[in-house]
Amino acid sequence: MDCGAAQKAGSCGREIPDMFVSWGERPVRVRISKVHGHDMSELGRLVNKAWRGSDSLTLDSAPHGGWDSVSLIARTPRQRYILKLPVLKGPHKAHPYSYEYEVMNFLRRRDLCPKPIQCDRLDDEFRTPFIIAEYAEGTIPSSLDQIPASGLEKMRQALLILSQLHPRGVQSYKKPSEYLKHITDQVLRSKKGSTGFSPQLAAAAGFFGVTAKELGSSIDAACVWSRRTMHGDLQESNIIIQPDRVLLLDLGSCSIGEPLLDLAYLVSQAEGATHHHVPDGVFKSYEEAAIIQALVPLALMSAIGWSICFLANLEREMIEPEVVTPDIGPRVLGYIHEKMDYLRSILVTRQT
């Protein structure tokens, strides 16, 4: 999910086969040999053909970032960049990065993100879309616990500045139920064009649908919603800690909603995360913590919904095979079950 890259702090604490490395707790291949039908040599040729810079780019085959994009370092003799390509196979009628490019171009003026350089398409059969941004030095934490107090303060400052801005054309959600409907619509669309989910995924989608209906009738009254700008996908891998600031990555979900939903997502989306164990400095007061905890169910629905969509694309063989590990299906399904259990426990507690 990254449109920048940085030094990874720490490790995931588990052994992974030599073919793979964990980045932000998500296993990705150490080297990519082919993507979107092109080997690395051909991909480099196509990227340079579209590239508007004066120096030729050399691509590294080691991927960076999460599971919703193929992110590669592109180098010139003088500078490094991050090239992002879709993780979904083509064709892509709409450009998946045009929105993110515009948001980044606006926010980089306030030093909130790396500078976007180019948003374009390759001259290949499917006109593969891509985005290139400057590479940002710094540290990407592998867990919330690894963000120092100073880093949390810089992160909060960046989110505060973001909340006060209004990028042109940014998506707006007037209330929590409208945001939940957006997530639900994504899950429903993931089933279109498919012969049906596997039994395990169908069960997860069924839980999601029932829970969405349950939350839909009460979520507007339960949640604070200030209608200010939020990141929309705040997780450790989308934070670069620099000495004087924090940069935000993966801004394709930036929207008008509730900025504290970002913190609710940050404290609940990681594997094994619960809001009962949150490092000091994430919340600034007990009152804020209570507001964020009320938003956690919505954050979990976002995490579950995205994961269901990812698995649906995986089952339809729409994911670039070189990007993911052999165990990705069971791992994502396990993540969904973990977050569903977490969400159930919250909802049961609220009913008692």
Domain count, the chain: 2
Task: List pLDDT tens digits, range 287-301.
Answer: 999 999 999 999 999
What pLDDT is stored for residue 298 in this prediction? 98
Virtual CA dihedral for 307, 27, 115, 82, nearest 10 degrees?
-130
Task: List pLDDT tens digits, range 305-329.
Answer: 999 999 999 999 999 988 788 889 9
Is the distance from CB of 97 to CB of 252 less than 8 angstroms? yes
82 and 215 share a domain? no
Lowest mean pLDDT of 19-23, 87-91, 165-169, 208-212, name the range.
19-23
Virtual CA dihedral for 300, 304, 310, 314, nearest 10 degrees?
150
Q: Of the residues 119, 139, 159, which one is the last residue of a structural domain? A: 139
Please check whether residue 164 lies inside any domain of the structure. yes
125 and 146 share a domain? no
Q: Of the residues 139, 174, 196, which one is the last residue of a structural domain? A: 139
Please check whether residue 2 lies inside any domain of the structure. no
79 and 227 share a domain? no
Task: Place 5 in a pLDDT band, splitting at 50, 70 and 90.
Answer: very low
Using DSSP, state whether 297 is helix, strand or coil: helix
What pLDDT is stored for residue 272 in this prediction? 82
Domain extent for 16: 7-139
Contacts of 179 (CB under 8 A, 6+ apart): 173, 257, 261, 298
Task: List pLDDT tens digits, range 173-230.
Answer: 999 999 999 999 999 998 876 677 899 999 999 999 999 999 987 999 999 999 999 9
Using DSSP, state whether 12 is helix, strand or coil: coil
Contacts of 280 (CB under 8 A, 6+ apart): 149
Q: Of the residues 139, 172, 197, which one is the last residue of a structural domain? A: 139
Is the pLDDT confidence value at 265 over 90?
yes
What is the average pLDDT score of the chain? 88
252 C-beta neighbours (distance < 10 Å), count:
22
What pLDDT is stored for residue 150 in this prediction? 95
Is the pLDDT confidence value at 71 over 60?
yes
